[in-house]
Structure 1
Amino acid sequence: MQSAPSKTDPQALQAVHVIDDDQALRVALDSLFRSVGYAVHTFGSAADFMASDRVAAAGCLVLDIRLPGISGLDFQAKLADAGVTMPVILMTGHGDIPMTVRGMKAGAVDFLPKPFREQDMLDAVATAMAQDQAARLEREGSQDLRSRFETLSTREREVMTRVATGKMNKQIAFDLSLSEITIKIHRGNAMRKMGAKTLADFVKMAETLKLTVE
């Protein structure tokens, strides 16, 4: 079975969020996930989940297709429209191919028919947790890059943006009506502030920030 995340591991902040109107299944899944070390939050409906403080939390969502009120598939779409990025695992006792296709196209990690093997559910959750962790690390990295970019002067930003397009110092100097040595100074300062050790790092950062010449 899946090993439990340690308390010092960033994954320890993640939780499995279960939405199913079947109380017996909620209890069973709560026990299963806690047995391998996951924090668990269970909800009887999509409305209960939305009313909680867990919508933007780290982790994944185990979502039943047939729910009171909004269906699981419609709720999955609603979450995506709202910008909620928590990975979703769908489950149902009445699934069909169109349902499966719709759920997977909408980005579901897995679609498990009831009754499912415990290990299949644990494997799906492990995959979803890894996706959530990777996505959060990527967003944090982008936010850090954006914060560093904000420390650049206007000229340094202009130089960085043009370096990312593949222009040489001489060409950038012509574009900005500056001397080539001035461009080199601005580029050096920008690379230092951004923490770029090489020109390749500098260009990759600019691409991550999606910088464009205005």
Structure 2
Amino acid sequence: MEQRITIHIVGGNSRSRAEQSRLILSMGHHAEVYSDLVELIDRPPRSGVIIASEELLENGVDALLDELANAGIWTPLVAAKADPGVEEVVAAIQAGALDYLQLPLTTTELRRMIAHVDSDAGRHAEARRRLIDARSRIETLSRREREVLDWLSEGCSNKAIARNLEISPRTVEIHRANMMDKLGANHPADAVRLRIEASFRDAAPAADGDADGAKVAGGAG
């Protein structure tokens, strides 16, 4: 027997959202409707699954998941669109979507998705929660602390990291200690695990990175 779940509907026009809601309710599940992403973020869901469609998918599922992550929302995401292409579906799943539905929704399609939610949503939500937590911790690191973490993840010793970054081993120790403290890591393996869970891409160093790195390096000599 299917477990009753809450499905959060966002994106598309009011008629589409109403049709999805009626179908969900007719199948014995609960529907929450949001006019746009701003309203969803203002009332962040903590359980169930999100069905996102139309304008929310214009920049890609990966961009939408990043917005949700930045808002601390790890509820599993299902993309929905009329006649999605195979490449779109593959890209969405690879980006982290739980499923991809074709609009307008049918009983068969919704039942398939709910079965997927029953089997995988808990694990998927936990993975998303860990990713968001890891990213939020890593974003607190300065540029130099991130570099130390990157080299540490490659299995480098403090001396090897010092050579690669052209700084002293003592400076590496200071950056490493600061990095471990910010991440709440008790062991280097914990720090490396967080980096892997975050799938971190160093696209934008922290604002205080250069100054922070210069200050610590200067103090360590």
What residue is the counterpart of 1:53 in the other structure? 39
What residue is the counterpart of 1:101 in the other structure? 86
Any idea what SS the aligned residue of 1:2 has? coil
Give, in whole Å, the separation in 1 of the partners of 2:18 and 2:147. Answer: 60
Deviations 1:95-120 (CA, angstroms, capped at 9, x unpaired):
6xxx55365345372445878445x4
Amino-acid identity (%): 18
What residue is the counterpart of 1:28 in the other structure? 22
* Residue pair 2:180, 2:191 contacting (<8 A) in 1 also: yes
What residue is the counterpart of 1:121 in the other structure? 110
Give, in whole Å, the separation in 1 of the partners of 2:31 and 2:101. Answer: 22
Question: Among residues 145, 158, 163, which one is paired with 2:152 in the alignment?
Answer: 163
Superposed displacement of residue 26, structure 1: 4.5
Higher helix share goes to which structure?
2
What residue is the counterpart of 1:4 in the other structure? 4
Give, in whole Å, the separation in 1 of the partners of 2:102 and 2:186. Answer: 46
Give, in whole Å, the separation in 1 of the partners of 2:12 and 2:105. Answer: 16
Q: How does 1:1-214 map to 2 (within 5 A)?
A: 1-5=1-5, 15-17=8-10, 21=15, 25-26=19-20, 28-32=22-26, 35-36=28-29, 38-41=30-33, 49-50=35-36, 53-54=39-40, 58=45, 59-61=49-51, 75=55, 77-78=57-58, 80=60, 83-85=63-65, 86-90=77-81, 101=86, 104-105=89-90, 107=92, 109-111=99-101, 116-117=106-107, 120-125=109-114, 127=116, 130=121, 133=125, 136-150=128-142, 156-174=145-163, 175-178=165-168, 180=169, 183-207=172-196, 208=198, 209-211=200-202
Instruction: Tell me how large the CA RMSD over aligned residues is.
Output: 4.6
TM, length-normalised to structure 2: 0.53
Give, in whole Å, the separation in 2 of the partners of 1:190 and 1:52. Answer: 33
Superposed displacement of residue 125, structure 1: 4.1
Any idea what SS the aligned residue of 1:60 has? strand
Superposed displacement of residue 191, structure 1: 1.9
Superposed displacement of residue 124, structure 1: 0.7
Give, in whole Å, the separation in 1 of the partners of 2:184 and 2:191. Answer: 8
Give, in whole Å, the separation in 2 of the partners of 1:190 and 1:146. Answer: 9
Aligned residue-pair number:
178
Where does the alignment leave 5 or more consecutive residues of structure 1 unmatched? 6-11, 43-48, 64-71
* Residue pair 1:162, 1:172 contacting (<8 A) in 2 also: yes
Greater C-alpha Rg: 1
Give, in whole Å, the separation in 2 of the partners of 1:51 and 1:198. Answer: 38
Give, in whole Å, the separation in 2 of the partners of 1:145 and 1:4. Answer: 34
Deviations 1:136-158 (CA, angstroms, capped at 9, x unpaired):
424522342234425xxx76455
Superposed displacement of residue 41, structure 1: 1.9
Where does the alignment leave 5 or more consecutive residues of structure 2 unmatched? 66-76, 94-98, 211-221
Any idea what SS the aligned residue of 1:121 has? helix
* Residue pair 1:103, 1:111 contacting (<8 A) in 2 also: no
Give, in whole Å, the separation in 2 of the partners of 1:39 and 1:23. Answer: 10
